[in-house]
């Protein structure tokens, strides 16, 4: 089984809908991250969490919210989806050993019409 | 502030050697990482350099010069499957969170 899983893998939705993307990990890592990727813009950090009680905004948090339900689960919500949130979304985990080596889920391709 | 620069695209032929450079500006630097991402796939970790010098892992090597705020990824004996995007990322700041470059798209041609 994969260490970092994301559901759904693909989602098409309409403008204004609320969407939740879920991430689970079995690596036992404390740190979890949500990124979005758009062509030519690399990986942009949306939110990150260093433990269950710690939530931090990344560089592009507007329009998004997160919930860290447990060490293994980190969900990303789009409260009212808009077309420019169409992107590939990745969840990642890491443990604090100085290198912050990150392990990524397979990604969720989200299309907002 | 913190920033990284890497070329947006590199093209090479099978069997050749290619070097992807990365320069960075930051305070509180701990190390430089490289990740590979195939089209439609997830980024995967390749290497990490905390100290100056060359680290070799099979056909891939990574180099760091802390005094020059510079590193590179060297890919030898290129294969078609090496066509991918390569991201450099620096481990910096009090929380040692990764800061990412925009990625270099490598095309390996026959």
Closest CA to B91 of A97, A50, A77: A97
Encode pLDDT of A16-75 as tens digits. 999 999 999 999 999 999 999 998 788 999 999 999 999 999 999 999 999 999 999 999
Contact A23, A75 (CB under 8 A): yes
The reply to whether residue A40 touches residue B102, judged by beta carbons under 8 angstroms, is: yes
Of residues A98 and B83, which shows the higher confidence score? Answer: B83
Lowest mean pLDDT among A56-70, B4-18, B52-66, B92-106: B92-106
The shortest C-alpha distance from B13 to chain A (Å) reads 23
Encode pLDDT of B28-74 as tens digits. 888 999 999 999 899 999 999 999 999 998 999 999 999 999 999 99
State how far the Cα of A48 lies from the Cα of A46, in Å rounded to an integer. 7
Q: Max CA-CA distance within chain A? A: 41
Chain A residues with CB-CB distance to B101 below 8 A: 42
- On average, the pLDDT of chain B sits at 94
Average pLDDT over residues A107-111: 97
The secondary structure of chain B, three-state, reads CCEEECCCEEEEECCCCEEEEEEEECCCEEEEEEEEECCCCCCEEEEEECCCEEEEECCEEEEEECCCCEEEEEECCCCHHHCEEEEEEEEECCCCEEEECCCEEEEEEC
Encode pLDDT of A74-106 as tens digits. 999 999 999 999 999 999 999 877 678 899 999
Contact B98, B2 (CB under 8 A): no
Closest CA to A103 of B46, B66, B72, B5: B46
Lowest mean pLDDT among A13-27, B8-22, B77-91, B95-109: B95-109
Coil vs helix vs strand at A5: strand
The reply to whether residue B48 touches residue A99, judged by beta carbons under 8 angstroms, is: yes
The reply to whether residue A41 touches residue B42, judged by beta carbons under 8 angstroms, is: no
């Amino acid at each position: 089984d994969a260490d970092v899983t994301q559901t759904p893998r693909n989602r098409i939705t309409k403008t204004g809908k609320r969407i939740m993307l879920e991430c689970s990990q079995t690596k036992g890592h404390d740190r979890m991250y949500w990124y979005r990727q758009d062509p030519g813009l690399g990986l942009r950090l949306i939110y990150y969490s260093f433990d269950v009680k710690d939530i931090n905004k990344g560089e592009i948090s507007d329009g998004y919210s997160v919930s860290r339900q447990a060490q293994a689960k980190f969900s990303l919500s789009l409260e009212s989806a808009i077309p420019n949130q169409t992107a590939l979304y990745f969840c990642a985990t890491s443990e604090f050993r100085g290198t912050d080596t990150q392990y990524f889920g397979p990604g969720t391709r989200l299309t907002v019409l | 502030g913190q920033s990284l620069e890497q070329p947006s695209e590199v093209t090479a032929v099978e069997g050749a050697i290619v070097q992807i450079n990365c320069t960075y500006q930051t305070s509180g630097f701990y190390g430089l990482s490289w990740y590979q991402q195939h089209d439609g796939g997830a980024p995967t970790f390749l290497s990490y350099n905390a100290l100056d010098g060359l680290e070799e892992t099979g056909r891939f090597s990574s180099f760091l010069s802390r005094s020059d705020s510079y590193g590179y990824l060297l890919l030898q004996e290129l294969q078609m499957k090496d066509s991918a995007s390569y991201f450099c990322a620096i481990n910096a700041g009090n929380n040692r969170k990764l800061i990412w470059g925009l990625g270099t798209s490598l095309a390996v041609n026959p």
